[in-house]
Structure 1
Amino acid sequence: MDFLNVTKSNFIAVATINNPPANALASGVLKELSSFLDEVENDESVRVIVLHGEGRFFSAGADIKEFVQVPSGAAYSSLATRGQELFERVETFSKPIIAAIHGAALGGGLELAMSCHMRIVTEDAKLGLPELQLGIIPGFGGTQRLPKYVGTGRALEMMLTSEPISGAEAVKLGLANHAFSQDVLLDEVKNIAAKFAQKSPQSVKAVISLLNASKQKSHAEGMKQEADEFGALFGSADAKEGITAFIEKRKPTFTGK
C-alpha cells in the first residue's frame, strides 16, 4: 500500500498511516483503509487492530487541497457520505480497533479516531474539530460522535471555538481511555491489545455488537440480544475451553471456534 504500512504479530495488526507531512486523510488513504479492513476481517491471525500515525501526527485532518477539486455541493454531500460509511464500518467492525494518538488528531483525524473502539493518547496530543475555521462543519460523523463522549455543551464549545483539547483532558472527559508519554505510547497500546487478543474472538465480537446495539436499539431490544448471544456462545468450543481452564486453574487457549 502507498499510504498504510501494516505489520502483524501475535494476533495484532498495526496499521500506520503514512501520508506526510500531516497524515491527511486523502481519498487514497481512505481507500487503503477500506481495503485493509477487507483484508483483516476474516484473517484469523488478526484479532486486534492498532491504528497509528507515522511521524509527528496521528492525522491532522482531511486533505484540504482535494476540497477545491470537488465540483458542487451535491458532490461534497456524496464525499461526506462515503467517509461516514467507512467510519461507521470502523465503529461496527467485529475486531477491536484502537487508535494510538500522538501529536494531533484534528478534523477528519479525530473523526476517524472517534469511530475506533478505543482511543489511547499522549498526554500532550491535540484533539479537536476545527472545521468552522474554514467556514464548514465536520462531515465524517464528528457532530454525532463527539457529544456522545464529552457531552453536548463541551462538544459545542470545541467546535465553535475550533480550539483543541490535550490528551490529558481527553481522558478526563471520557474521549480517551488512557494517556501516556510519547516514548511508551505504542508499547502501552500493544500491551492492552495483547490482553484483548487473549480472549475468545467470538466473545469479543459479541461484546462489540452488543455495545453498538446499546447505541441504536431500545433497552429491551438490547437485553434480548444479550440473552441470545449469551446462549449462543455457550455452545462454542471456546466456552468449553474457558470453563474447563477455570476449573483446572490454568490459562485458556482460545481458537475462535
Structure 2
Amino acid sequence: MEFETLELTVNGRVAVLSLNRPPMNPLNKKLFSELYEILEELENNDDIGAIIITGKGERAFAAGADISEMKELDAAGIARMNRISRKAFEKLENIGKPVIAAINGLALGGGCELALCCDFRICSENAKIALPEINLAIIPGGGGTQRLQRLIGQARAKELLYFGDMIKAQEAQAYGLVSKVVPLESLMDTALEWAAKLAEKPAVALKMMKTALHTGADTDLNNALTIETVCFGITFETEDRKEGMASFFEKRKPVYVGR
C-alpha cells in the first residue's frame, strides 16, 4: 500500500504506521483519510495482531493539526474537516486490535488527541505533550475534552486544557496519561516488544476485551456487566478458548490461531 502522508512497515505480526510529514508531522485532511483507509485494511488482515503509530523523525509524534490548512476555514469548513478526523479517530479507537502510540517527540493538540485514541502510550524522554488550543482561542475538536478526562480525571484534564501548557514525559506518566517513558533510542524497541507480546494473544478474546472495556465505560454498571457477559460468552465459541484450556491442563504453551 502506497500513501502520501503515512508509511507502513511490517515487523512479524506488528504493523508500524509512521506519520510521514516530517519534521513536525502536522495532521491534515489527507492524513486523516489515509489513516482511516489503512486502518480498514489492517483490521481485516489476520496476519496483523497489533499496531504501532509513531512519527517520522525525532522532533515530533505530531505537532497538532495543520494550521495552514485550518486558518482560512469557517465554521462549515472546519465541520467538514472534523467529520473526516472523527471518522479516523473513532476507527483507531475501536479497531479490534491493540494499538500503541510510540510518542517520539512533541504530541500537541491533534497529535495528543490521536495518541489518546490508542490503547497504550509509550513516550521517549524528550517527548512533550499539550492540548494548547485555548491559546489559539479555540478548544480541542478531536475528542481531547472527552477522552482526556476519561483517562486522567476531570481535575487534571481541566489543568491541561484550561492552561494549554506543555508537560514533559515524566509528568505525563505521573498523570496516568502515558504508560511508560524510555530513552528515545529505546522507544521503538520497547513499543515493538509490547506489540509483539500483544500480537501473540488470542485475537478474538483480545477484541472482546477491548469491546467490553470501551463499550462498558460509556454506560452504567448493570449494562456494562451485561456487555461483559456477552463478550465473555463469545470467547467460549472460539477454537482458541479450547486450545487455551487444553494447553493449561497439558502444561504446554498454547498455539493460538485467531479463531
Tell me if both proteins adopt one fold, taking TM over 0.5 as the criterion.
yes
Shift of 1:80: 2.2
Deviation at 1:221, TM superposition (A): 1.3
Partner residue, 1:41:
43
Is the counterpart of residue 60 in structure 1 residue 97 in structure 2? no
Where does structure 1 lack aligned partners over 5 or more consecutive residues? none
Separation in 1, partners of 2:118, 2:90: 9
Distance 1:142 1:99 in 2: 16
Q: TM-score, normalised by structure 2?
A: 0.95
8 Å contact from structure 2 (residues 102, 123) kept in 1: yes
Name the counterpart of 1:251: 253
1:151 is aligned to 153
Paired AA for residue 84 in structure 1: R
Please name the residue that 2:228 is paired with: 226
**Stretches of 4+ moved more than 6 A in 1?**
none
SS at match of 2:101: strand
Inter-partner Cα distance in structure 1 for 2:198 and 2:167: 28
Distance 1:190 1:9 in 2: 8
Q: Which residue of 2 aligns with 1:170?
A: 172
Moved more, 200-209 or 2-11: 2-11
How much does 1:82 deviate?
A: 2.8
- CA-to-partner distance for each residue in 1:40-71, whole Å, 9 max, x for gaps? 1110110100001011210000000001342x
Q: TM-score, normalised by structure 1?
A: 0.96
Aligned residues: 256
SS state at 2:60 partner: coil
* 2:128 paired residue number: 126
Shift of 1:185: 0.7
Per the TM alignment, residue 162 of structure 1 is displaced from its structure 2 partner at its CA by 1.6
The separation in 2 between residues aligned to 1:228 and 1:152, in whole angstroms, is 30
Match of 2:98?
Answer: 96
How far 1:235 moved relative to its partner?
2.3
The answer to whether 1:142 aligns with 2:144 is yes
* Matched-pair identity in %: 38
SS of corresponding position for 1:51: strand
Q: 1:8 aligns with which of 7, 10, 13?
A: 10
SS in 2 for 1:58: strand
Cα separation, 2, equivalents of 1:242 and 1:122:
35
